[in-house]
Amino acid sequence: MRNTRAIDTVANDFQKALRNMGNGAIEFGRMLHNFAANHRLIPYAIMGTEMWPKCTKGIRSRAITEAEHIRIVQYICDPTLWAYRQLRGKNEGTTCEMWRDEWVNWLWFLWFTGASSADAANMKAENVKWDEGVLEYVRGKWAQPEKHSPARVAIAEGGRLEKLLKRLPAAGYLFPLLSQTRQDTRSKRFREVVSHLGIPPVSSHGYRFAFAERAKANGMSVEDRMATLGHSSYEMTHHYDKNAKVIPVSIEVLDGGLKLAS
């Protein structure tokens, strides 16, 4: 559709483009169509209401647990998995071990950074600011990046994120194979593993929820959570961390009551 004039677009173009695509693509196609119709870029509606593909019931967003993450990583550490053999066959010059390493490192990257799966797959070594001790990046979903402060993830010296980053490529894409893989393909592979292991439905976006909840439960300030997740409002951050189990500090500790009691 990219190379077709709006006025030359027909219903079959939308239906072909949206075949086997997810809810997000369907909604975007509907928005694109309605924008063109409302602004008279097309003389009449191309797609009637009943012609659009039906949105399927999606996976409820939730945080992936640490135990679930460990189970998934342990399972995909096997380079003989059929999925790796299929990927190797479709990508000349790659090996099952290369795909295995990228998938494992990618999931650990999601666990430590809270980045979206797409932002993580497209992350580059140049985003790592070693002199500042941060991973800094512009979110791919921002239509006007200049209006947002970059997301900044702290890199603790000697920590596991630092060790992970140091074993990834020193230039270019951190995940060169996954960066060339479609988002829906990555999501499908992840769902297949989750289903195979009998884990309650969760998407790779669950890593973002997990990071937000862990950060809040462990006392990270809301300002730091917003900066790390790349949010410009507390409301959005709260959407991700609202289920965090926070143990408040005892008033006895805060007001010195324990000292008086002793």
- In this structure, is residue 258 part of a structural domain? no
Domain that holds residue 89: 66-207
- Exposure string over 47-85, b if 16+ CB within 10 A, otherwise e: beeeebbeeeeeeeebbbeeebbebbbeebeeeebebbe
Distance CA 194, CA 189 (A): 9
Are 197 and 72 members of one domain?
yes
Rg (CA), the chain: 22
CATH assignment at residue 202: 1.10.443.10
Residue 230 lies in a domain: no
Residue 247 located in a structural domain: no
Distance from C-alpha of 149 to C-alpha of 152, rounded to nearest angstrom? 9
What pLDDT score was predicted for residue 58?
56
Lowest mean pLDDT among 2-16, 65-79, 152-166, 246-260: 246-260
Task: Give per-residue pLDDT as tens, 205-218.
Answer: 999 999 999 999 99
What is the model's pTM? 0.78
Helix then strand count (H, E) for the chain reads 13, 3
With cut-offs at 50, 70 and 90, classify the pLDDT of residue 50.
Answer: confident
User: Between 260 and 93, whose confidence is greater?
Assistant: 93
Check whether residue 42 and residue 70 sit in a common domain. no
What is the band of 53 on the pLDDT scale with cuts at 50, 70, 90? confident
